[in-house]
Structure 1
Amino acid sequence: MSRRTWVVALSLLGLVCGGPQAQAGAAPETRVLRIGTYFVNPPFEYIADGATVGFEVDLMNEIAARLGRRPEFVDTRWETMLREMRDGRYDCIVGGITITPAREKILAWSTPYMTTTLSLVADAERSPAIRGIADLKGASVGVQAATTDYDVAVRMRAEGEIGSVKVYPFDRIEDAMSDLAAGRITAVMKVYPVAAWLARKTPGLRIVAQVPGEPQPLGIGFSKANPGLLAAVDRALAAVKRDGAYARLARKWGVP
């Protein structure tokens, strides 16, 4: 069989088997943006009535749409998520994650979409005298494990600003709020939007102070091997802020 005959035969086989020629008129499948997160972090991302909702869910949906991608959220755990991202399990990760020098060593990060603070929540009825950080000497403060809240609380304990630190698994922050309402701890430290959300759920709890000098820039994490996606997300994020979509989502979820 001649070379020309072979080429014709292979082309016909491609048509019969649904090869590229047969697919020419079909719409291309939308690429997926695989996003690692954890749905225990309101108002950023959580589950309500069986649906995954939250500010960052909406934000990543908006960004994915501008990239022409279909978002796919993968539920994981805070304790493993950064390592899983480094190992390439996701396209990116999100979850109210503070950009820190240590985290910049292992992952690349977007431009911060929000810079917020760490808040201290106390029970106004049980501890009416607590009105600021100066009133927390000797207090027990609840924090989540392996977070900037934990790092700051340990520093404050060493400097005598608080008395002790009680550590909770990341997905058990509501246990900390329950212990606070029951008087088993004096305060809970958490990044502001989450602290405000959780305080609103329990009568009597209120934010009594913001920790000074500890800004919390929140970002989207990427593998350092994928600078192109990082640049594309940064462009989309800038557009979301520029055209008012970010402000609309911030109002909807009550975040800065």
Structure 2
Amino acid sequence: MSTLRVGAALPDPPFEFLTSDGPAGFDIALVQRIAGMLGREWRLVPYTGSDFNGIFAGLDAGRYDCVASGTTITPGREAKADFCTPYAISGQSLVVDVIRNPDVHGIADLKGLVVGVQQGNTSQPVAEKLVAENRAARVRVYAYHEIEQALDDLTSGGCDAFMKLAPVTAWFVRGRPRLGVVQTGITVEHLGICVRKGDIALRDAIGGAQAALAADGTLASLVKQWLGAGAMLPS
């Protein structure tokens, strides 16, 4: 059978990232197992656009067969792609430089401050709503691959807080002692793999393999190993 081409936006640890030994992360481990169960080889196709939502145009154009990239399922995205059953539930979290902004403990403390987000990330409308409600000063939008610059800016003053799914912020703050995750659970988001709109056969094949991995405990082990306390299995 043909190789399963998997689109993903990098870097987005612990969902997907590159190491000296090749790609790694939750989505990588999951699709490797799914591809094996389908009797197919797999290949990572990195998405390099600045806006995450552009990944769906690549899917529609046939650059890859599916997207496995810590992708939140939203009505807008469901109009562009067919999603499998969610593999995890997570939510947005807030990171600050705790030395520079010691009084920020969550989104209730953002009045007058700048919130950083990645373009096309599901954190963007959350932050924009805070600004519209006069609960934050403005949103600074970074290209999707500029997450490390955004985190640097928390200390340098380019932004005051950064919003992203909890497993990702937990990963990045480990090597940055001035940064802390001050709030989690800002949203509740269901994450899943998607395929090109109308490719029901592939959606069902991936979904069936994922269901088998859920039934035998493999999915739970992968969520615990890679995503930790920042995510849980769907009920």
For 2:59, the equivalent position in structure 1 comes to: 85
Q: How many residues are paired up?
A: 226
Q: Whose relative contact order is higher, 1 or 2, with alpha carbons under 8 Å and at least 6 apart?
A: 2
* 1:139–1:164 CA contact under 8 A, matched in 2: yes
Q: C-alpha offsets along residues 158-207 of structure 1, whole Å, 9 cap, x if unaligned? A: 01221111110000110000001223321100011111111222112111
TM-score when scaled to structure 1? Answer: 0.83
CA-CA distance at 1:217 after TM superposition: 1.1
For 1:37, the equivalent position in structure 2 comes to: 8
Q: Secondary structure at the match of 2:103?
A: coil
Greater Cα radius of gyration, structure 1 or 2: 1
Q: Say which of 227, 234, 241 aligns to 2:214.
A: 241
C-alpha distance 85-67 of structure 1, shift in aligned 2 (>3 A): same
Structure 1 residue 171 and structure 2 residue 145: aligned?
yes
CA-CA distance at 1:50 after TM superposition: 5.2
Which amino acid counterpart does residue 142 of structure 2 have in structure 1? Y
RMSD: 1.5
Name the CA distance, whole Å, in 1 between partners of 2:133 and 2:96. 20
For 1:73, the equivalent position in structure 2 comes to: 44
For 1:102, the equivalent position in structure 2 comes to: 76
Matches within 5 A, 1:1-256: 30-49=1-20, 51-78=22-49, 79=51, 80-210=54-184, 212=186, 214-255=187-228, 256=231
Name the CA distance, whole Å, in 1 between partners of 2:109 and 2:116. 16
* 2:96–2:154 CA contact under 8 A, matched in 1: yes
* 1:120–1:211 CA contact under 8 A, matched in 2: no
Task: Give the % identical residues.
Answer: 38
Structure 2 gap segments, 5+ residues each = none
Name the CA distance, whole Å, in 2 between partners of 1:148 and 1:243. 31
For 1:18, the equivalent position in structure 2 comes to: none
Q: Secondary structure at the match of 1:173?
A: helix
Q: Secondary structure at the match of 1:69?
A: coil
Q: C-alpha offsets along residues 30-66 of structure 1, whole Å, 9 cap, x if unaligned? A: 5311111133111111112252111110011011111
Name the CA distance, whole Å, in 2 between partners of 1:50 and 1:110. 29
